Amino acid sequence: MSIRSARSRREVDPSIALPIQYRTVSYQIEDTIQKDATAQSKAKDAATKELSSLEWHTISTDEALRRLSASVTEGLSNEQVARRQKEYGRNAPSPPKSHALQKYFGYFFKGFGPVLLVGAILVLISWKPLGQPPSLANLALGIVLVAVFFIQAAFNMFQDWSSSRVMSSIKNMLPEDSMVIRNGVQTSLDAQELVPGDVVCVKAGNKLPADMRFLQVSSDAKFDRSILTGESLPLAATVNSTDENYLETRCIGLQGTHCVSGSCTGLVVATGDRTVFGRIAALTNEPKTKMTTLEKEVLYFVIIICSIMLAMITVVLVVWGAWLKKVHPGWINVPTLIVDCVSVAIAFIPEGLPIALTAGLTITANLMRKHKVLCKSLKTVETLGSVSVICSDKTGTLTENRMTITECTIGTHTITVDAAEDELEVSTAPAIAGMVTTGVDQVRAIAGLCNAAEFDAATMELPIEQRRVFGDATDQAVLRFSERFGSVHHLRQCWQKTYELAFNSKNKYMIRTFSMFRKDCLKATLSENEAETFHSGDVLLTIKGAPDVLINRCSSFVNNAGDVYPFDDEMRASFENVKNTYSSQGKRCILLARKVIRQGELHHQSGTGQFEDEITEQAKSGLTLIGLVAIVDPLRPEIREVVSTLRGAGIRVFMVTGDFALTALAIAQDAGIVSCSSSLVHDVSALHRDPADSDLKTTESRSSILISGPELLGLNEYQWKTLTQYEEIVFARTTPEQKLRIVKEFQADSVVAMTGDGVNDAPSLKAADVGIALGSGSDIAIEAADMVLLESFSSIVEAVQYGRVVFDNLKKVICYLLPAGSFAEFWPVMTNVIFGLPQVLSSFLMIIICCFTDCAAATVLSYEKPEADVLLRKPRNVKKDRLVNWQLVGHAYGVLGMIETIASFAMAYWYLEKNGIPFRVLWFSFGNLPGWIDPDYYAQKLNEASSIYFVNLVVMQWFNLLAVRTRRWSIFQHPPALNRDTQNLYLFPAIMFALSMAILWLYIPQLQSILGTSPVPVEHWFLPFAFGLFILLFDETRKFLIRKYPNGFIAKLAW
């Protein structure tokens, strides 16, 4: 297939699969913590409910020891261990439940499988022992039915070949032994022998064998949780709780994570399946139970067809039991009755549908791959066609993710980067240059130091803009900015990094601390006074992040000349205005600040958890604001057209971003996501808490709204319902947890697609009806997503188009299969039972139509190109717009089926009439023929009439194939050849295949005697062309009336 789209061919790496479920559960716990007890008790997920109620992280260590009757020095006694092993079992994950039997049972008995198997068994019983003498035609029919049963199962198996297997490789990720204190003695034990209450000693390099509450930790104890979180930065261990969320607190050690430095002692609080690792692994391995929209539609169709089929079989049985058996006992014996019932079933079931369905999805997935869209599941293809809401990320999705700093503000002075650079290089006015550049130097220094990006050494000779940079897009922009004013490499050599807190979407800032290594850059980094008083033991704290988070932590600022002044309300308002100006221009605003921490203010060594806590505390106040920088991330050139096209297709496109509200709104307006001016965009105040407060004017003008993440937290159920009715929405300042909430709220009435590329986006990607990851995204995001866009967001237009085409083409397939493969096959059986006529189409030839002559043509309909209006329609309403509605059934049975049935009956009985067997002697004859008709001659001519009926259907279906290619457009507007945009050249090989199948079964002498088939007179190959042309002309007239009168009566009958 291609990159990770071939997930079905391999076992999923647990280190990619587990973090998706871990993050989802963590966000759900965060959500329940904010709700009352009633809401918590209704938590859908048992794991979320149980983990939300745990208290091991919030109680004291003494209380934890008391609850588990354990001692730090003594551990547990042998008696306690024995009792707990009985109660809790071994500390090992339970093997996953084997659903193999259920899965394979589903392959064979899903859809029409049971009907085919029961039919095959009954027909074989009719052959032997009931058949007297045994009929070879029944044996052949039974064999074909069994073959179709297995072919259908094989296609179901292929379609479902995408189950991920995680548990099989989980055991390799858990430790084999551990150091435990028992009976006051430290001993090495098999990790599977651990029980709750055991006291475990952990040192660097060890994996945690169970979930444990830390009792004692060394100052440098750190744990790598990447197996569960997907984030590689080690976390410091603590004895006291750091978070209400059990999954996020650092006083709990989680099974499977490993100690990268230091040592600690922990109290085992959960083992085996009760550990977080065990719960997450089990959730990850659970099969998806939710049916896709396509599966629901196919099930609905199967139920309809099987209901009609059972009703008709009941009619046959009642007619036979109540009338024929008594009045015409010799007409239909038991074996014949069984074959008749099976024939009704065969007639009603379009056996080619499962094959055409799977082939169609595969064909569409391959076509989408050519447009750089990878579908990881065949069933997802159609779901995308139903999408009515797309929640799009901003950075890297709508924008190019190619960020550049355009200007910076130092004190009250705002200057472009180019102007600052020019003044540094060419200014001949030292006073002015000094006034500007001293401040610029300090901004440049903090930009270079508080930065996780690095230049690729191999590209250092190139111009700054052409150099390769390792790091995220924001850091890249800030690093290039810093390099323009001097060497960042030299700057970093002067300062030795002692601590780093990486940027995350929760804190919205990053911290780096430094100690002085050389004095070269001291004056360029700090103000003159600070530089003079900075000593070798002092620490420089640098911080970079969101202004709304950091501005209230500042107590001073650097002015244009590089001097430090108190940060009063006037300056705060000035910076707020600058920030709002940048944001309203669609620019991302970053605040740079620093703090000098004197040697005596810190009491712990760098590298310890306590040092990190002290730095975090120091960063909460007393910062010096160095400046603001404005970052531009240009919109992708194709985005406006993409948004406009999706809008035209009736899809609401929302922006979900972590940026400021004004920045997000400006970019949304530029992209066309918001079409009105800023003054007309609603805010949270438009969402009334009570229906009684909503006035008619507000209700009618629900066009655009801008809402931030913190505001979402306070919305009640009615406000969420109101919010989901807006046409244009920008969600600003959102966290990954809120993304998940947004998806779930919109899923109540819409089919939601969500884009994302980060580890933290994985839960919302997995929860969405269609999760869409970019090819440049993280492995975890790609694993969680259903679809991957390899190049750009513009591919989503093709994806939506082909998603809709899948549904359209499936309707065409069904409309093609039902007339001949269902309706026209059903009436020969019913006329045989009720009117005493001979069965003018043999049961064997019915199967040949369903599984051979029609199947190939139905499959190639999946290659049909999109009709011209496919992206001008509204999305399909999954609750109302069915795959098979009454209009389609009415057209397939009442129009096409009726024409084909009447024409085929007419040809068959006209042939008998010409050959001396008048219709009047067959009508209500129930096998009692006049003596002047020779039985052998009659049987021969009946076989020929049956073959004529068969050929008539096969040929008329060729014209039906050309008619159902389009739902509204003429064959001249959408020709099958000579136009690259509409042609489907596979139609003609499919027609030739149907012809060859007809010749195969009718013209091979060895098969004729067994199957009761016969060659057909040449005129009966050409007469059906006239009937076929009538179907085509009739359908062209119908489509013309639909196009001319789109609201007329005919249009309402259109399928």
Q: Which residues are designated catalytic? A: 393
Whole-angstrom Cα distance, residue 496 to residue 607? 13
CB-side exposure of 714: number of CA atoms within 13 Å? 9
User: 521's torsion region: left (phi>0), alpha (psi -120 to 50) or beta?
Assistant: alpha
- The burial class, CB within 10 Å (0-12 / 13-18 / 19+), for 858 is buried
**Whole-number Cα distances in Å, 672 to 397, 652, 660:** 14, 11, 18
Tokens of 741: 């909430």
Per the rule left: phi > 0, alpha: psi between -120 and 50, beta: everything else, 650 is left
Q: Report residue 376: phi and psi, to 5°.
A: -85, -15
The 3-state DSSP class for residue 291 equals coil
**What type of residue sits at position 308?**
I
Q: How many CA atoms lie within 13 A of 505 on its CB side?
A: 17
CB 588 within 8 A of CB 401: no
Please report, in angstroms and rounded to a whole number, the separation of the first and last CA atoms in the chain: 35
d(CA 827, CA 898): 10
Sole residue written with tokens 């690729």: 456
d(CA 115, CA 820): 19
At 114, the amino acid letter reads P
CB-CB contact of 435 with 451 (8 Å): no
Burial 184-220 (b: 16+ CB within 10 A, else e): eeeeebebbbbbbbbbbbbeeebbbbbbbbbbebbeb
Cα separation, 958 vs 948, whole angstroms:
16
If DSSP codes are grouped into helix, strand and coil, which group holds residue 205? coil
Cα–Cα distance for residue pair 334/325, rounded to 1 Å = 10
**How far, in whole angstroms, is CA 223 from its chain's centroid?**
32
Peptide bond into 975 cis (omega under 30): no
Residue with tokens 């920008």: 730
Task: Give the single-character DSSP code of 432.
Answer: H
Q: Are 383 and 785 in contact (CB under 8 A)?
A: no
Query: Within 10 A of 895 (CB to CB), how many other CB atoms are there?
Result: 17
Phi, psi of 624 (to 5 degrees): -105, 120
Rounded distance between C-alpha atoms, residue 184 and residue 74, angstroms = 4
90, two tokens: 């071994």
Q: How far is CA 302 from CA 233, 296, 876, in A?
A: 52, 10, 20
Look at phi and psi of residue 491 and say left if phi exceeds 0, alpha if psi is from -120 to 50, else beta: alpha
CA distance 561 to 914: 111
Find, among 774, 650, 160, the residue nearest to 386 by Cα: 650
Number of CB atoms found within 10 A of residue 830's CB: 19
State how far Cα 563 lies from the chain centre: 53
Q: Where are the alpha helices (DSSP H) in 450-525?
A: 473-484, 488-494, 522-525
Cα dihedral: 814, 816, 819, 822 (round 10): -50
The residue length of the chain stands at: 1055
* Number of Cβ within a 10 Å radius of residue 644: 14
CB 450 within 8 A of CB 495: no
